[in-house]
Amino acid sequence: MTPETSANNPELANLLCDLAYTCAKTAGALLMTRPPAFELTTKSTAIDFATQMDEAAEKLIVDSILATRPDDGIIAEEGAARTSKSGITWVIDPLDGTVNYFYGLPGWNVSIAARDQHGVIAGVVYAPTTDSLWRATRAGGAFLNDLPIRANFGVALDRALLGTGFAYDVADRTEQIAMTSYLLPRIRDIRRTGAAAVDLCNVAMGALDGYFETGLKEWDWAAGGLIATEAGAQITHLGSGERKLTIAAGPGLFDALTSALAASA
């Protein structure tokens, strides 16, 4: 096993996190310069779209990573793909929360993670509109704007503030509505911010007690999931295929939330 692919390599993790940090900040600055008009490309459904800014941010990030680490792999939401020769693969959402971005709402972000055969080793989520940059390395802790963060522990289900999101395929929303309807009388409240990566970071910093959503892709949760885990939260992906259920919460709430979601099915 080489140093690049060993499970415990804080030097590599920090190097990858620093590169993700630089790329996220640069892409965030690009995205803050909103175009006078949007060019929309339809994706999975008529209400799921990308803009020219999603594509420009992805190109900037990928080009920057490969200029420094040309043997790394790439998996990115807008289509960039490359097999890794180094053992490191980057998982990139150049603009998580495109609908928020399109409408001028906060919460959209740049999400960049690097993984090896053991899982995600470094992750950065940057939300420029709130000046929030979350980062984590495997076994290195989680931080918001360089201050350590911690998930909420021991929250009872009936006192929990939860985050969630809804699918672009309206047929999948029936299942999501059923889960939400079951939970609402049993919890404090629900928030829907429109960006999965920030939702996971909000769990990491205690701004949410827990989070659940079906249908996330790897680029939605890779960076935010590591940040939440390093902040002490638990995270799981239940089921298979494109409708897997992602659950994240602090210890104590995690089991109760998982059980409640199972009961809602």
Measured distance CA(258)–CA(223) in Å, rounded = 22
What confidence tier does 5 reach under pLDDT thresholds 50, 70, 90?
Answer: low
Q: CA nearest 117: which of 16, 2, 227?
A: 2
What is the DSSP track for 165-233? ---SSGGGHHHHHHHHHHHGGGSSEEE--S-HHHHHHHHHHTSSSEEEEES--HHHHHHHHHHHHHTT-
How many domains does the chain fold into? Answer: 2
In the prediction, which pLDDT does 6 show? 59
Instruction: Provide the β-strand partners of residue 162.
Output: 190, 210
Choose the final residue of a domain: 148, 181, 205. Answer: 148
Q: CA nearest 223: which of 208, 241, 207, 235?
A: 235
pLDDT tens-place string over residues 217-248 = 999 999 999 999 999 999 999 988 778 999 99
What confidence tier does 167 reach under pLDDT thresholds 50, 70, 90?
Answer: confident
186 and 94, same domain (yes or no): no
161 and 217, same domain (yes or no): yes
pLDDT tens-place string over residues 29-40 = 999 998 888 877
115 and 207, same domain (yes or no): no
Choose the final residue of a domain: 148, 177, 210. Answer: 148
Question: 206, 245 in Cβ contact below 8 A?
Answer: no
Question: What does the mean pLDDT of the chain come to?
Answer: 93
In the prediction, which pLDDT does 171 show? 73
90 and 203, same domain (yes or no): no
67 and 140, same domain (yes or no): yes
Q: Quick check: 152 pLDDT over 60?
A: yes
Q: How many C-beta atoms surround the C-beta of residue 235 within 10 A?
A: 19
233 and 213, same domain (yes or no): yes
15 and 130, same domain (yes or no): yes
What confidence tier does 1 reach under pLDDT thresholds 50, 70, 90?
Answer: very low
What confidence tier does 44 reach under pLDDT thresholds 50, 70, 90?
Answer: low
User: Residue 80's domain is classified under what CATH number?
Assistant: 3.30.540.10
Question: 162, 247 in Cβ contact below 8 A?
Answer: no
Residue 10 domain boundaries = 3-148
pLDDT tens-place string over residues 93-105 = 999 999 999 999 9
Q: Quick check: 7 pLDDT over 50?
A: yes
Percent of the chain residues topping a pLDDT of 90: 80
Choose the final residue of a domain: 92, 127, 148. Answer: 148
139 and 170, same domain (yes or no): no
Q: Quick check: 253 pLDDT over 60?
A: yes
Q: What is this structure's pTM? A: 0.93
Tokens of 120: 């995600």
The dihedral through the CA atoms of 23, 107, 96, 117 has a sign that is positive
128 and 33, same domain (yes or no): yes
Question: 224, 196 in Cβ contact below 8 A?
Answer: yes
For the purposes of burial, counting CB atoms within 10 Å of the CB of 127, is it exposed (0-12), middle (13-18) or buried (19 or more)? buried
109 and 179, same domain (yes or no): no
pLDDT tens-place string over residues 103-130 = 999 999 999 999 999 999 999 999 999 9
Percent of the chain residues topping a pLDDT of 70: 95
7 and 100, same domain (yes or no): yes
Q: Quick check: 3 pLDDT over 50?
A: no
187 and 107, same domain (yes or no): no
User: Residue 217's domain is classified under what CATH number?
Assistant: 3.40.190.80
